[in-house]
Amino acid sequence: MRRRARTYVVILSTVLSVVTAEVVLRGFFPRRTAEALAGIYPAMFDDSDVMPYRLRPSYSGPLKSTEYDTRINVNSLGYRGSAFALDKGAARRLLVIGDSFTFGWGVNDDETYPALLQRRLAARVPSEPIEVINAGFAAGYSPDTYYLYQKNEGLTLRPDAIVVGLYVGNDLDSDKAFENEWPETDRNGLPLRIRNLDSHVVDHFLIPRHIPVRYRTPVLSRLHLYQGLFDIWWEIAPRIKSWLPDSVATTGDAGSQPPGAEEQVPFNYRLRYADRTQKVFARVRSLLAGMQELASRQGIPIYFMVIPQQLQMSTEAFPNLPADIERPQKELAAFFDERGMRYLDLLPWLRQQSEGRDVYYPADGHFNVLGNQLTAERLSDFLEEVWLTK
């Protein structure tokens, strides 16, 4: 009887200790659980048969970080911002295609550069209604999804002009350059269907396809105590490895050398482009040419706006390293000029007009309110010259 009582006491004490530890961790030292992993993005996506995702129609929710506290509203057609009719009527309609920069990550609906652009253009042409549709994220997040969106959905909106926002950071050669595969292509080798190899939509969240072991166990993966034990292990594992003999501790990459000067520069800015970068740029050029061709067939002018990466705001981003901080813009400009495509390079304008002020969220890397304002200002001037007066 006493042995059974002691067993009950041990079990009860263990349970109470675990519950207490979980409550303390959850309340004062929260860990990143499986729920947090799924919540990297808000529940703002729907699955798609031909694209990595679609924006979830009629979604509304907050978007918070240490740098901003904003709100996202997606209309019933799956576009950020106010509702609009499929039939544009007498309105002059501009479709803006792009990724999270065009979507306006980190700013409110009325602070995105497409929303600000509409107000500026409407003020310049008060005699006719101007309508700017924000297709940021509705068009995915990379040139291949921009192309497929324009082909399948964008042109059905019957725009009078199209602006494509190209972000130097990950629309060219970056870690995300090889996330998408094209299961089906047309006779020109352009995508008919796109699948993201790294992420997919589950319960409206965009989450990794390959979840670490610590997040796979049902119930346990959502406990802060369980994740805390994993964190402790990752802290002590390197020390254990350092105690082992060299023959045990050495791994397959022990013979690798520290990266040279060129390897310290991101692929987009190297003086000599790697083969992978050349292939990415060739693919991007074919996609942009495809977008130009799609628009031209319907007599729709299309303009390409090059959005710089945050580190490009300084000409001294890679001191004493073999780098050309403006090379992506030069490569794109040569391509656009060769094909007679109209484009706008934002980099000189932002450097000049920012006057030392941040136009990006320092940690997040997206345009802040000022960055969106300056982009709308420069883009409206450009469109007045090449489109509104035509």
pLDDT in tens, 87-96: 999 999 999 9
Pairing of strands 92-98, 161-167: parallel
Residue 312 pLDDT > 80, yes or no?
yes
Residue range 336-359: mean pLDDT, rounded: 96
Residue 67 pLDDT > 80, yes or no?
yes
List, as one string, the DSSP characters of 229-261.
HHHHHHHHHHHHHHHS-HHHH--TTTTPPPP-T
d(CA 223, CA 187): 51
Q: Is the pTM of this model over 0.95?
A: no
pLDDT per residue over 179-233, tens digit each? Answer: 999 999 999 999 999 999 998 888 888 888 877 666 656 566 666 766 666 666 5
Q: Is 122 helix (H, G, I), strand (E, B) or coil?
A: helix
List, as one string, the DSSP characters of 344-361.
EE-HHHHHHHHTT---B-
Beta bridge partners of 344: 305
Q: Which of the four pLDDT bands, split at 50, 70 and 90, describes residue 247?
A: very low
Q: Is 365 helix (H, G, I), strand (E, B) or coil?
A: coil
Q: C-alpha angle 344/349/353, rounded to 5°?
A: 155
Considering only residues 115 and 199, tell me which one the structure prediction assigns the higher pLDDT.
Answer: 115
Query: What are the tokens at 220?
Result: 């346990």
pLDDT per residue over 50-62, tens digit each? Answer: 999 999 999 999 9
List, as one string, the DSSP characters of 31-86.
---HHHHHTSS-S-EE--SSSS-EEPTT-EEEEE-SS-EEEEEB-TTS-BSS---S
Label residue 377 exposed, middle or buried (CB < 10 Å: 0-12, 13-18, 19+).
middle
| Average confidence score pLDDT of the chain | 87
Q: What was the pLDDT predicted at 252?
A: 42
Q: What was the pLDDT predicted at 39?
A: 54
Considering only residues 344 and 23, tell me which one the structure prediction assigns the higher pLDDT.
Answer: 344
105, 65 Cβ separation under 8 angstroms: no
CATH homologous superfamily for 89-186+266-388? SGNH hydrolase (3.40.50.1110)
Closest CA to 204 of 83, 59, 82, 64: 59
DSSP class of residue 134? E
φ/ψ of 74, rounded to 5, equals -110, 130
> Is the alpha carbon torsion for 170, 174, 177, 179 positive or negative?
negative
Where along the chain do its domains lie? Answer: 89-186+266-388, 216-250
Q: What was the pLDDT predicted at 248?
A: 41
Percent of the chain with pLDDT over 90: 67
Residue 251 pLDDT > 50, yes or no?
no
Percent of the chain with pLDDT over 70: 81
Q: What was the pLDDT predicted at 250?
A: 41
d(CA 223, CA 217): 10
Q: What was the pLDDT predicted at 28?
A: 63
Closest CA to 370 of 384, 353, 385, 345: 353
Considering only residues 169 and 223, tell me which one the structure prediction assigns the higher pLDDT.
Answer: 169
Residue 253 pLDDT > 50, yes or no?
no
Q: Helices 275-297 and 143-152: crossing angle, nearest 10°?
A: 20
pLDDT per residue over 280-291, tens digit each? Answer: 999 999 999 999
202, 38 Cβ separation under 8 angstroms: yes
Q: Helices 327-339 and 275-297: crossing angle, nearest 10°?
A: 40
At position 245, the amino acid (one-letter code) is P
DSSP class of residue 187? T
Pairing of strands 60-64, 54-55: unpaired
